[in-house]
Chains A and B, each alone.
Chain A
Amino acid sequence: MTGMIEPMIGRYVHVEIDGDPHRIYFEENGAGVPLVCLHTAGSDGRQWRHLLADEALAKKFRIIAFDMPWHGKSNPPASWTGEEYCLTTARYTQTIRAFCQALALEKPVVMGCSIGGRIVLNLAIEHAREFHALIGLEAADFQAPWYDTSWLHRPDVHGGEVCAALVSGLIAPQSPDASRRETLWCYMQSGPGVFKGDLYFYRVDGDLRGRVEGIDTGACPLYLLTGEYDFSCTPDDTRRTAAAIKGASLTIMEQLGHFPMSENPEQFRRYIAPVLNQILEQSISDKQGEHL
């Protein structure tokens, strides 16, 4: 008896980021409006495997998830000489735009979670017209720190164990045990210092307070969805951010935490499917308008 083969296909694309060649791993499934999914800090594209395999959504969207450089199967670039990894707002923005350009994606939807949610806000601020719609999961212009990131990368504490243990509390108690463990497994496998390096963007370089007010949701619709159990990017952080952006859509998701797509895929689908359908309807309506 042959085994069930999942529909997503993984490949590598060669991308120049700030002039430096990178070999980026991505998985994709489906056809239609491009939907690029961004993983959280210190993890990788495996977080999106349930969405990638979603048969109904794949009929309407070309769902794509890539591993950021230093994450998952995207190695550091050949130019790396061992210096500490450190993600900046500019570098993160360049990476996403370069990836989309390398795949020749025309006005993709971008959906990011956590740091991916924060950078989605920056895309909305600086490059709204390049995107069809933007979705920020667990996203806010800023959130208060709740631990010292130096614990994430030191030789006398196991990095994988401490990274996973820190974020374990961000998962809702209702999430299935197997999904909880799988979500944490990705954190246990992250390279040394990578989670910490991602958080440089999140904690230090990517403070968007005072900038989100300029987002034009008329140029690109913006959807913000946050889990009620996320005490890192709290529902109040997202409410404050949404309140500052005219036209932003806000949803607080029950029984979900900081990793909605991987910690409880079924519960997440209840919230994200209507958003994606709304984006699709808007896309059809826009195209009909073009033909009138």
Chain B
Amino acid sequence: MGAFAGIPALLDQAPALILRGRTLDCECLLGPIDHPFHASIRGGRIIDLTPAPVLMRYWRFSYRASAVAWAEYWKPVPRPGWHDLLALTKREEAVLEGDLHPFMAHLQYFKDVLALPRSHRPTVPS
């Protein structure tokens, strides 16, 4: 999914967001349910994003959602029930697994990082 691959570069352009994640070093699995990415986060930056599976790669937590869910989440004004990471888990369009401590301790950071494609999507003429 192209939008996901672009998140590290978008994050590099968001110093306030990096600052909020400055104490975060974490390996996690993020993205579409069937084709997630291994993300390596150091000091709030995503220094590596590699499509899974990677043989014996470790991750602490995983947040994966359906392709429909990501498309809805990244709409300029998402529809009710599709507008938040935990709204998506509640409606069973996303799954959150593993050791959730880094995710919960940096919850707003992850919500905002994973929303970055929302404000950077090209406007499609109607």
Contacts and interface: CB of A to CB of B under 8 A. Distances in A.
Which applies to chain A's interface (DSSP): helix, strand, loop or mixed?
loop
Size category of the B interface is 10 to 19
B80 A165 contact: no
Given A146-B86, A158-B105, A161-B107, A173 B77 contact: yes
B11 interface: no
Interface string A169-211: 1101110000000000000000000000000000000000000
A173 B108 contact: no
B86 A157 contact: no
A90 interface: no
B69 interface: no
B85 A169 contact: yes
A154 to B, nearest CB: 9
B104 interface: yes
A151 B104 contact: yes
Interface residue SS majority, chain B: helix
A140 B118 CA distance: 32
A166 B90 CA distance: 13
A231 B90 CA distance: 8
B87 A169 contact: yes
Given A146-B86, A169-B84, A173-B78, A157 B101 contact: yes
Interface in A253-285: none
B71 to A, nearest CB: 16
A156 B107 contact: no
A193 to B, nearest CB: 16
Given A146-B89, A173-B77, A173-B78, A165 B111 contact: yes
Given A146-B86, A169-B87, A231 B81 contact: yes
Nearest to B20: A161
B42 interface: no
B83 interface: yes
B106 to A, nearest CB: 8
Given A144-B90, A162-B105, A174 B111 contact: no
Given A169-B85, A231-B90, 12 more contacts: A144-B90, A146-B90, A156-B105, A162-B104, A162-B105, A162-B107, A164-B108, A166-B86, A168-B84, A168-B111, A172-B83, A173-B77
Interface of A: 144, 146-147, 151, 156-158, 161-162, 164-166, 168-170, 172-174, 228-229, 231, 234-235
5 residue pairs, one from A and one from B, having the closest CB atoms: A169-B84, A165-B107, A165-B108, A146-B90, A231-B87
23 contacts: A144-B90, A146-B89, A151-B104, A156-B101, A156-B105, A158-B105, A161-B107, A162-B107, A165-B108, A165-B111, A166-B86, A169-B83, A169-B84, A169-B87, A169-B111, A172-B80, A173-B77, A173-B78, A173-B83, A231-B80, A231-B86, A231-B90, A231-B91
